[in-house]
Every structure is written in structure tokens, then in C-alpha cells.
Amino acid sequence: MSIKKIVYKNGNLKYEGEYYEGSKIKYIEEWKFNGNGKCYFNDKLIYDGYFKGGNFHDKGKFYDDNGELRYDGEWKDNEYNGNGKFYDENGELKYDGEWKDNKKNGNGKFYDDNGVLRYEGEWKDNKSNGYGKYYGNNGELIYEGEFINNEMVSYYG
């Protein structure tokens, strides 16, 4: 494994970090990024983290076109997988929790546009499913119980 800078045909930086090289490399697209590195698009950092086989993998940070952090967490084959935090275009935390295949799955917390915790609990395929708590605009507990497909279905206690 070596440290390398790779550029697009126009000379802009594409990748900076660890990589391994196949036996018959002819084109830049065939380089396989492995290890820690940074990926760029239009001369802007879009990903800073670990790569495996050319994909975002393990821990890393993803940035939008304006340089705002959008996701900070675990990856598997270019998808959110594991624990991670998702931020909106203004840099506000929207979700902090578990992911699987780019979807909220497992336990997590969802925040509104004002940064107020609105839901904490179980998720399945981007929907509140299982036990959870729903909070009002001022952070007061409104509901605690079972959710199915984002719907409240019963109270606990």
C-alpha cells in the first residue's frame, strides 16, 4: 500500500491517500483506494475517511457541494451502515443513530429544524417502528409507546 495523489484529466485533485494498484493499471478509474484517504469532486472535498476496494467503507465524513458536513459515521460499500450522524444543508443535526443500507434502522434520535429532539427510539427502513418516544415543539414528552410505520399505536404506562 502506498500514499498517492490522483487527479482528473483536467488536473483537479480526485483522491489523496492510501491505495493499492492492480497488476495491469491503464486508466485512473482502475485505481482501488484502500485505507485512509480523501476524495474530491470539482476541486472540493466530498469524503474524508476510510476506503475499501475503492468504496467508502468503515468510518468517514461526507460533505456536500458547499463543503457542509452531511454525514459523519460508518459506511459499507458507499452506503450508511452502522452508527452515524446526518446533518441538513445548514449543518444542523437531523438524525443520530443506527443505519443499514442508507436507511435509518435500529435505535436513533431525530431532531427538527430548530434542533429539538422530536423522536427517539427504534427505526426500520427510515420509519419509526417499535418502541419510541415522541416529543413536542418544546421538548416535552407527548407519547411513549409502540410505533408502526411512523404511526403511534399504543401507550406504555
Please tell me whether residue 114 adopts helix, strand or coil conformation: coil
The answer to whether position 79 is within a domain reads no
Query: What pLDDT is recorded for position 71?
Result: 98
Number of domains in the chain: 2
DSSP H helical ranges for 21-95: none
The answer to whether position 45 is within a domain reads yes
Query: What pLDDT is recorded for position 16?
Result: 80
Please tell me whether residue 31 adopts helix, strand or coil conformation: coil
Residues 105, 60 share a domain: no
Residues 93, 156 share a domain: yes
The answer to whether position 84 is within a domain reads no
User: Shortest CA distance to 48 belongs to which of 65, 57, 61, 58?
Assistant: 61
Per the CB < 8 A criterion, the answer to whether 133 and 119 are in contact is yes
What does pLDDT average to in each consecutive run of 10 residues of the chain (157 residues)? 74 77 44 84 93 91 95 97 96 97 98 96 97 95 95 73
The answer to whether position 13 is within a domain reads yes
The answer to whether position 74 is within a domain reads no
Per the CB < 8 A criterion, the answer to whether 144 and 133 are in contact is yes
Q: What domain range includes position 15?
A: 1-67
Residues 51, 2 share a domain: yes
Query: What pLDDT is recorded for position 26?
Result: 37
Residues 112, 59 share a domain: no
For 140, the grid coordinates are 416535552
Q: By CB neighbour count within 10 A (0-12 exposed, 13-18 middle, 19+ buried), where does 152 fall?
A: middle
Q: Which residues contact 28 (CB under 8 A, 6 or more apart)?
A: 6, 7, 8, 14
* Dihedral angle sign, alpha carbons of residues 120, 147, 138, 69: positive
For 118, the grid coordinates are 422530536
